[in-house]
């Protein structure tokens, strides 16, 4: 154990999330007993891409996705790999950190905002919100830990605090200014290598459901109904093929991966990315094991670990499903919206991206 890890264990910054028991069975996610409030003094990080819908409409989905993932990568590296609860939303991210990690996270967010602006030509809003400010509104941030597989777990958030923090950020509150021009966060480990995954069961359905009223019991019933419908479908709607996502070379996100790297000219970084991804592609293509890396096992874990469903004050899912299931979900959600229970968004498409 390194000195930094010893110190983090001693001051308790890791204990809250690391010691949290995991739950299995996604259908249980609305059980309030699974969630624990973040400790006093903690901060809630939020980030989102300004006008992300327009950027996606302009076929810049990978850039938007890369920017959102960069938030988590930069904070993870700034915290030296310590566990902390986070949720990645495609065009942004949310997380919770201890006060001891606030300065490191703030610097990482500021540098990421600059990098996103300069290298991806997108605008990234970032903020750190004290949990006390959220609780002053009668809200909270509570965390559960869901085991998607034996190998990985993901944070789930409830309490209404994340939604309030994001709204406050969009009002200009608690925001963090961009770092100086040329700032580059540590994005080690960030990549974008898989190709699109065409629907195998009919269509890809992207779904977002958030509460529209204070009737938490009605919203809980709605989410439980939706999850039950999905759980009964083949593969629980997982959009990642059982054989894993397709790989090709050159990888579709090679330029973004080169931009994420530090040091050297962009030309040299691109050559490095292309060389490394060609090596990886050949390992997968020819099913060659190297240095303890077994392509089949890795791809199996990619499938099992995929976070195609999450809860962060609202249910987000990306499903590969039959049109009949999409119609049933839309009917149930339309009824909930008419009753004032929830607001929702649905989008049908031919393929999913990872």
* pLDDT score of 306: 83
Structure tokens at 144: 């559960």
Q: How many CB atoms lie within 10 A of CB 313?
A: 22
Q: Which residues, 6 or more positions from 266, have their beta carbon under 8 angstroms from its beta carbon?
A: 258, 259
For the chain, residues classed under CATH 3.30.70 are 9-170, 197-240+306-352
Beta bridge partners of 323: none
H helices of the chain, where? 3-11, 15-18, 52-57, 61-78, 102-120, 131-135, 161-170, 216-231, 254-260, 266-286, 295-305, 323-338
Q: pTM for the full model?
A: 0.90
Strand 315-321's sheet: what is its strand order?
309-311, 315-321, 203-211, 342-349
The residues, ordered by sequence, that sit 6+ positions from 226 with a Cβ below 8 Å of its Cβ are: 207, 209, 315, 329, 332, 333
As a whole number of angstroms, the distance between CA 254 and CA 249 comes to 9
Closest CA to 71 of 57, 90, 52, 58: 90
User: Which CATH number is correct for 9-170, 3.30.450, 3.40.50, 3.30.2310, 3.30.70?
Assistant: 3.30.70
Q: Which of 323, 39, 77, 34 is nearest to 186 (CA)?
A: 77
Q: What separation in angstroms does the CA of 343 have from each of 45, 67, 133, 267, 336?
A: 24, 26, 25, 46, 8
Architecture of domain 197-240+306-352: 2-Layer Sandwich (3.30)
- The predicted-structure confidence for 286-336, as pLDDT tens digits, reads as follows 999 988 889 888 888 888 888 899 999 999 999 999 999 999 999 999 999
Place of tokens 């609305």: 30
pLDDT 10s digits, 273-291: 999 999 999 999 999 998 8
Distance (Å, whole) CA 339 – CA 310: 24
Digit-by-digit pLDDT tens for the chain (354 residues) are 233 334 444 455 568 999 999 999 999 999 999 999 999 999 999 999 999 989 988 989 889 999 999 999 999 999 998 999 999 987 899 999 999 999 999 999 999 999 999 999 999 999 999 999 999 999 999 999 999 988 899 999 999 999 999 999 999 999 999 999 999 999 999 988 888 899 999 999 999 999 998 889 999 999 999 999 999 877 668 898 888 888 889 988 899 999 999 988 999 999 999 999 999 999 999 999 988 889 888 888 888 888 899 999 999 999 999 999 999 999 999 999 999 999 999 999 999 887
């Amino acid at each position: 154990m390194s000195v930094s890890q010893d110190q983090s264990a001693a001051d308790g910054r890791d204990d809250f999330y690391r010691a949290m028991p995991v739950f299995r069975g996604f259908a249980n996610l609305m059980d309030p007993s699974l969630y624990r409030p973040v400790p006093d003094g903690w901060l809630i990080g939020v980030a989102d891409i300004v006008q992300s819908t327009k950027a996606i409409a302009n076929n810049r989905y990978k850039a938007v996705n890369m920017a959102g993932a960069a938030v988590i990568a930069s904070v993870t590296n700034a915290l030296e790999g310590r566990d902390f609860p986070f949720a990645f939303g495609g065009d942004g991210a949310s997380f919770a950190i201890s006060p001891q990690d606030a300065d490191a996270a703030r610097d990482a967010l500021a540098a990421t905002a600059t990098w996103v602006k300069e290298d991806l030509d997108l605008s990234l809003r970032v903020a750190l919100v004290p949990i006390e400010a959220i609780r002053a509104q009668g809200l909270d941030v509570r965390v559960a830990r869901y085991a998607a597989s034996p190998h990985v777990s993901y944070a789930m958030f409830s309490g209404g605090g994340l939604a309030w923090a994001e709204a406050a950020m969009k009002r200009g509150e608690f925001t963090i200014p961009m770092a100086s021009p040329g700032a580059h966060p540590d994005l080690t480990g960030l990549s974008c290598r898989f190709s699109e995954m065409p629907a195998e069961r009919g269509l890809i359905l992207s779904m977002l459901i958030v509460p529209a009223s204070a009737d938490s019991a009605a919203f809980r019933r709605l989410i439980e109904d939706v999850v039950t419908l999905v759980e009964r479908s083949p593969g629980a709607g997982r959009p990642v093929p059982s054989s894993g996502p397709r790989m090709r070379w050159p990888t579709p996100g090679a330029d973004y991966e080169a931009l994420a790297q530090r040091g050297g000219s962009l030309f040299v970084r691109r050559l490095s990315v292309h060389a490394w991804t060609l090596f990886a592609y050949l390992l997968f293509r020819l099913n060659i094991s190297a240095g303890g890396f077994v392509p089949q096992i890795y791809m199996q874990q990619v499938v099992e670990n995929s976070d195609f469903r999450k809860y962060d004050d609202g249910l987000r899912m990306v499903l590969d499903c039959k049109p009949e299931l999409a119609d049933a979900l839309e009917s149930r959600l339309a009824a909930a919206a008419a009753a004032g229970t929830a607001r929702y968004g649905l989008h049908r498409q031919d393929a999913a991206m990872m």
